[in-house]
Amino acid sequence: AITEAIFHALHGVDRTDIRHYIDVRYGYDMLRSVDEIRPDYEFDETCMGTVPEAIICALEADSFEQAIRNAISLGGDADTLAAIAGGLAEALYGIPDDLARATLDLMPADMRDVLRALYARRGRRMPGLDEG
């Protein structure tokens, strides 16, 4: 589901249409909001208990940072939620260069090289390292 959501986002599909597609294709309850999920959400490492919530966190956001904040605000398996939401959020909004630079500065050079190669393979600009 997350791979298809990212694919659609990279190809300019509207967030509402992505939400509907994931709802129909995977049977996930995509009609909930982050505010509706938050009060009852508990740690759940399953796909069914993590992926739809993470997608909703990204689709409800207006920026990469907001998507991550939405995911963390749910609690539970917050690092997994944020990792999933962040992948979709990058496709939707991009990663701000200042945030990417701060993160990349903490990574070993060999890991940055791997990331650069992955972005180059897709013909995409790497936020925080490559010039516009």
Q: Are residues 86 and 107 in the same domain?
A: no
Give residue 38's pLDDT.
96
| Dist. CA 73–CA 121, nearest whole Å | 34
pLDDT at residue 131 in the model? 54
Q: Does 85 share its domain with 101? A: no
Calculate the alpha carbon distances from 14 to 8, 30, 59, 108 in Å: 8, 15, 10, 36
Q: What is residue 130's predicted lDDT score, i.e. its pLDDT? A: 56
Structural domain of 106: 96-132
**Predicted pLDDT of residue 122:** 85
| Residues in the chain where the model's pLDDT stays below 70 | 130-132
Is 70 found in the same domain as 111? no
Per-residue pLDDT at 132: 45
Task: Looking at the structure, tell me whether residues 25 and 73 fall in a common domain.
Answer: yes
User: Tens of pLDDT along 74-111?
Assistant: 999 999 999 999 999 999 999 999 999 999 999 999 99
Answer yes or no: do 80 and 27 share one domain: yes
Do both 21 and 79 map to the same domain? yes
- Are residues 53 and 24 both part of a single domain? yes
What residue spans of the chain are helical by DSSP H?
2-10, 15-26, 34-37, 51-60, 64-74, 78-93, 97-104, 109-121
**CA 90 – CA 31 distance, rounded (Å):** 22
**pLDDT for position 82:** 98
Q: What is the pLDDT of residue 123?
A: 86
Overall number of domains in the chain:
2
Are 88 and 106 within one domain?
Answer: no
The per-residue pLDDT for 127 is 86
Token representation of residue 118? 């992955």
Same structural domain, 54 and 119: no
